Structure 1
Amino acid sequence: MREFDYVIVGAGAAGCVLAHRLSATPGVTVALLEAGGSDKHPFIQMPKGLAKVMADPKRTWQYRADPEAATAYQPEIWARGRLLGGSSSVNGMMYVRGQPADFDELARVSSDDWSWRHIGAAYRALEAHELGEGETRGGNGALRLTLADRRTPLTEAMIAAGSAMGLARKEDVNDPDNAVCVGYASRTIWRGRRQSASTAFLDPVLHRANLQVIADATVDRIRFEGKRAVELEVLSGSERMVLRARKEIILAAGAMASPGILQRSGVGAAAQLAQLGIQVVHDSPEVGRNLREHRGIIQQWRLKVPMSDNSEYAGLPLLRNMLRYYTARTGAMASAAYEVGMWLKSDRSVPRPDIQFLVAPFSFDYSTQRTALEKQPGMSIVGYPLRPTSSGEIHIRSKNPHELPELKPNYRVTSEDRALMIRTVQLAREFAGQAPLRAFIEAETFPGLACASDDAIIEAYDKFGTCGYHAVGSCRMGSDAASVVDPELRVRGVEALRVVDTSIFPQIPSGNTNAPTMAMAWRAADLIMREAAR
């Protein structure tokens, strides 16, 4: 049996940050476990390789959502990274901090430890932005960030159209002011390479003697002595090993996996665990509940002029772009999923943006299930309400750690969510109709202007919508006794066990979740070290 002070489960955005910070103290031993393998593959490092990586079952968990009315009873896959770096090694590389109000609201339901004052400081500490250090932006951290750099008359028209709608154009769209804005997207890309959490936070510290990274290690369950978490049973191939934690076990496996580890270990709804023959350590009914996810729709327009990227990813242009990438690390293959970001209010009366658009100079061929781009020039927007009020569930089906859980999205069950989904489509059409962009557009091609009524828009979401890959909430943090973890991320009802990943957010921070997860983990390390110092 091997012993460490801290054993961290999951080498994704949160786990890599935690390993980076906790192992910085000499004499404190840290083990970081990852169910997948290496992230050193050319398609992972190359930003535009993301489509191939996301579809690779060797490098992703392919969670299958239960069909429901909101998905037109079709199957839907929620993919997550299964490799070092976790989902930060397979995502679209959008770096969206969320709004300061997100964290101040989190503080109101937990503690001041999670207010923007602390989270803003965490962002400044971890960032190395190409714009340099500023009052609210980091310039010397481990995570290198850049702005979208493939700027054309079309992308400039996109930003001008946002300005025409009253959105402030920002050089850095992450400036923290809770305001509507438009600008070139911030990206986790540096010199043409993906900056995953493992690249930024883990690779530079692998030399530390007090840090051990154990890949291809699937956690079966946590062992308790009384109420204290002391050991992990881990599967690696056909072998089973046990790791002991002298101080704490920290789950950083994400909103999809951390609930399952807790449930297999006896922490969850007692009745459900009993049905599976699992001995109850602590009855915690909210484990696996309160799951929140973005439900997006991709709207598309045909362009009058050949300014889109549709032709860049097929045939000779693709070969040319691949050659350019491998010789200079620039060009189409060095860009992230989207070029332009927009944060809008559904109505002037709402206090802060509640809808996000990510805008791209390309359009998908829906006849290929969006696996290829259209041959004609086009542009697209993926849009979604930022803070959904509908919640789903995720629960284990058995004791088998290799069996994927039951996933119920439960999209759009509230009237608030349905109204915002409809408004998202309407605002995208207003955006496309602005003079700076209208000159480039021939017609809306998807879902098409025939999709006009509220019912037709919801039907389009159901048939053609997409999950945002931004799930949170399944191990909710709060100051109330029903929450799964307390304001210091300690699992209620047991000892020496924390959860540090997206599952602790009661609501999705306003945007993509990679950046908030890293900032949350940075702050969590402060709290863990503060407690150790006591």
Structure 2
Amino acid sequence: MAGYDYVIVGAGAAGCVMANRLSENPDVRVALLEAGPRDTHPFIRMPKGIIKVMADPDHIWGYSSVPEETNDNTPEFWVRGRVLGGSSSINGMMYVRGQPADFDAIAEVSSQDWDWNHIGAAYAALESHQLGTGETRGGSGPLKVTLPDIKDTITNAMLEAGKAMGWKEKADTNAPDDIEGIGYAPRTIHKGRRQSAATAFLDPIRSRDNLDIMTGCTVDRVIFDGKRAVAVDVVRDGQKSRIETRGEIILCGGALASPNILERSGIGDPERLEALGLDVLHANPNVGENLIEHRAILIQWKLNKDISHNRKYHGLGMLLAGMQYYLTRSGPMSAASYEQVAWFKTRPGLNRPDAQLLFAPFSFDFDKQRQDVERHPGIHVCAYPLRPTSKGHVHITSVDLDAAPELQTNYRDTEEDRRAMIGTVRTAREWARQQPLAQYIEAETMPGPAYESDEDILKAYDRFGTCAYHAVGTCRMGADAETSVVDPKLRVRGVDGLRIIDTSIMPMIPSGNTNGPTMAMAWRAADLILQDAKTSEPA
């Protein structure tokens, strides 16, 4: 029979892991399809090149949210990676595992295949951590994880201020203990270069004869024979073609793209599909719903002493930093977006941290859309509640592959989220009042003292807030057939031969950045798929 055993759609964090694992068997043919180009852009490899890459239309998907109160009635621009490695090739390189309770909660609504015991084992298998092997930390996996090596007066003061808050300093901030803690943030950087999913999981296996990596290949829809997925229609170099499978199609497009592919394929809300002239293959109104995203806000302070890193990112300082990077692969340009991370409780009585701060020893110039740093010394934090409960949606608006979907964020829809957002900002401000950091702070400049009351803080989130690029949930996994899109083995309900593994299947958002959890869940998904393949083999 013609075709591939597995056709993987999307070469991001999940797709690269899946291609690596599923092509281990030389008797299995695997196709990995990526809409964007190969990951050869020089600013992808340079960690601080992130600003340039995220603004390059050749390497991103751009999504615009609808105007609503929670974005100050101003559309918000979301980006995703459109390149080998997907968003792991353009992200801030923060490596956060999430809390054990996150995965146990996912298991409660799906199956024990997704509990912390399994996900912790997946992390141990995929990591090659600078700190070496630990209880759930890997020391010899394909993904290189390192710790920051730039430590100075301001970064030490930021760390000590956190300890003054009562947060425990952690050598490995990802240690699975669910306590309030602070420490230097692990990042997906190795020898000064970004460790994207493509670098870690594709580069070592590109020569496998049974793996075809196709770039510039945008998937329009899945083709079915009856209810069985048998092919995908793609557009490549302006030409339409069809790629067939004799086994399974695995969507790894992410929380924004995968539900759109399902809808164009006839799987979704019947009224919505019929209004667009699409035949309904399987009715499931949950496709594209349940969108959950972190709502972040940047809080900045002006310093009274020139000890921030702003001077390293403009003028002569930038020139010297660039020279240092190209000569030694070290220095400011080799750093991730944030140097330190803290998890804390926004109010008493919580059983685990519910908010996160990411610390940076520099400050953005908001008049230049954060494409430059301020000329005076400053620092900032990126602050957000970890587990929001407000839900939005993303849906296609046309059968045209290039048409923008409708993206509604619906931030802070619940009282629980509003309370956590307020508590997050108040805690960040309390942190800034701690010594030895307080002695260096002249004033808060963003959002500033005008935003002090609870109502004002929420207005600041609306006016100045941003997505954290962590959207999940739009093809929710669950044991409940009525309201989930995929079952606990990631099979799309109502059809055969089609699975999804990416952030869209997460029924709730992990506590922190999603790159690490996506790779770990994809590693676990490969285990399940390979188990299914083994049991289906003829005796």
Indicate the TM-score class for this superposition, using the shorter chain for normalisation: over 0.9
SS of corresponding position for 2:437: helix
Q: Say if 1:2 and 1:242, in contact at 8 Å, map to a contact too.
A: no
Q: Does 1:328 align with 2:328?
A: yes
- 2: CA distance between counterparts of 1:253 and 1:368? 31
CA shift digits 1:388-438 (9 cap, x unpaired): 110000000111112221101111111111111111110001100112211
Q: Deviation at 1:325? A: 0.5
- 1: CA distance between counterparts of 2:188 and 2:348? 32
Q: Say if 2:2 and 2:246, in contact at 8 Å, map to a contact too.
A: no
- 1: CA distance between counterparts of 2:2 and 2:371? 45
SS of corresponding position for 1:15: helix
- 1: CA distance between counterparts of 2:253 and 2:340? 30
- 1: CA distance between counterparts of 2:257 and 2:56? 18
Q: Name whichever of 107-116 and 413-422 sits farther off.
A: 413-422
SS of corresponding position for 2:317: helix
The residue aligned with 2:274 is 274
The residue aligned with 1:410 is 410
SS of corresponding position for 2:146: strand
- 2: CA distance between counterparts of 1:397 and 1:136? 43
The residue aligned with 1:173 is 173
- 2: CA distance between counterparts of 1:5 and 1:464? 47
- 2: CA distance between counterparts of 1:137 and 1:348? 30
The residue aligned with 2:505 is 504
- 2: CA distance between counterparts of 1:219 and 1:387? 32
CA shift digits 1:479-498 (9 cap, x unpaired): 00120000000000100100
Equivalence map 1:503-522=2 (5 Å): 503-522=504-523
The one-letter code of the counterpart of 1:523 is: R
The residue aligned with 2:211 is 211
The residue aligned with 1:13 is 13
Q: Say if 2:54 and 2:60, in contact at 8 Å, map to a contact too.
A: yes
The residue aligned with 1:443 is 443
The residue aligned with 1:359 is 359
Q: Deviation at 1:460? A: 0.9
Q: Deviation at 1:90? A: 0.1
The residue aligned with 1:96 is 96
Equivalence map 1:342-491=2 (5 Å): 342-481=342-481, 482-491=483-492
SS of corresponding position for 2:352: coil
The one-letter code of the counterpart of 2:344 is: L
- 1: CA distance between counterparts of 2:365 and 2:509? 30
- 2: CA distance between counterparts of 1:33 and 1:522? 18
Equivalence map 1:178-257=2 (5 Å): 178-257=178-257
Q: Say if 2:363 and 2:374, in contact at 8 Å, map to a contact too.
A: yes
Q: Does 1:140 align with 2:103?
A: no
SS of corresponding position for 1:44: helix
SS of corresponding position for 1:483: coil
- 1: CA distance between counterparts of 2:348 and 2:415? 19
- 2: CA distance between counterparts of 1:464 and 1:404? 24
- 2: CA distance between counterparts of 1:348 and 1:117? 29
Equivalence map 1:18-29=2 (5 Å): 18-29=18-29
SS of corresponding position for 2:250: strand
- 2: CA distance between counterparts of 1:490 and 1:401? 24
The residue aligned with 2:4 is 4
Q: Does 1:308 align with 2:314?
A: no
The residue aligned with 1:77 is 77
The residue aligned with 2:260 is 260
- 2: CA distance between counterparts of 1:246 and 1:179? 48
The residue aligned with 1:112 is 112
SS of corresponding position for 2:376: coil
Q: Say if 1:50 and 1:92, in contact at 8 Å, map to a contact too.
A: yes
SS of corresponding position for 2:241: strand
- 2: CA distance between counterparts of 1:238 and 1:389? 41
Q: Does 1:122 align with 2:122?
A: yes
Q: Deviation at 1:220? A: 1.0
- 2: CA distance between counterparts of 1:397 and 1:446? 36
CA shift digits 1:201-220 (9 cap, x unpaired): 00110010000001000111
- 2: CA distance between counterparts of 1:384 and 1:276? 37
The one-letter code of the counterpart of 2:456 is: A
Q: Deviation at 1:238? A: 2.0
SS of corresponding position for 1:461: helix
The residue aligned with 1:494 is 495
Runs of 5+ consecutive residues of structure 2 not aligned to the other structure: none
- 2: CA distance between counterparts of 1:373 and 1:238? 40
Q: Say if 1:11 and 1:32, in contact at 8 Å, map to a contact too.
A: yes
CA shift digits 1:160-206 (9 cap, x unpaired): 11111111100010001111110000000000000000000001100
Q: Deviation at 1:315? A: 0.9
CA shift digits 1:288-329 (9 cap, x unpaired): 000001111100111121111111111111111111101100
SS of corresponding position for 1:245: strand
Q: Name whichever of 3-12 and 439-448 sits farther off.
A: 439-448
Q: Name whichever of 137-146 and 343-352 sits farther off.
A: 343-352
Q: Deviation at 1:450? A: 2.6
The residue aligned with 1:529 is 530
- 1: CA distance between counterparts of 2:164 and 2:478? 41
Q: Say if 1:2 and 1:243, in contact at 8 Å, map to a contact too.
A: no
- 1: CA distance between counterparts of 2:368 and 2:193? 28
- 2: CA distance between counterparts of 1:284 and 1:172? 42
The one-letter code of the counterpart of 1:380 is: H
The one-letter code of the counterpart of 1:220 is: D
The one-letter code of the counterpart of 2:518 is: T
- 2: CA distance between counterparts of 1:412 and 1:89? 29
CA shift digits 1:443-470 (9 cap, x unpaired): 1111112311111111111111111000
SS of corresponding position for 2:312: helix
CA shift digits 1:209-244 (9 cap, x unpaired): 000001000111111111111111111022111111
The one-letter code of the counterpart of 1:415 is: E
CA shift digits 1:131-187 (9 cap, x unpaired): 111122100000001011111121111111111111110001000111111000000
Q: Percent identity?
A: 58
The count of aligned residue pairs is 534
SS of corresponding position for 2:213: strand
CA shift digits 1:52-88 (9 cap, x unpaired): 1111111000111111111111121110000000000
Q: Does 1:54 align with 2:50?
A: no
SS of corresponding position for 1:419: helix
The one-letter code of the counterpart of 2:187 is: R
SS of corresponding position for 1:512: coil
Q: Name whichever of 137-146 and 232-241 sits farther off.
A: 232-241
Q: Say if 1:233 and 1:242, in contact at 8 Å, map to a contact too.
A: yes
- 1: CA distance between counterparts of 2:312 and 2:153? 17
- 2: CA distance between counterparts of 1:160 and 1:79? 34
- Over aligned residue pairs, what C-alpha RMSD do you find? 0.9
Q: Say if 2:347 and 2:423, in contact at 8 Å, map to a contact too.
A: no
- 1: CA distance between counterparts of 2:502 and 2:6? 16
- 1: CA distance between counterparts of 2:45 and 2:17? 19
CA shift digits 1:106-150 (9 cap, x unpaired): 000000000000000000000001111112210000000101111
- 1: CA distance between counterparts of 2:51 and 2:167? 31
Q: Name whichever of 225-234 and 441-450 sits farther off.
A: 441-450
Q: Say if 2:345 and 2:352, in contact at 8 Å, map to a contact too.
A: yes
Q: Deviation at 1:348? A: 2.5
Q: Deviation at 1:360? A: 0.4
Q: Deviation at 1:2? A: 6.2
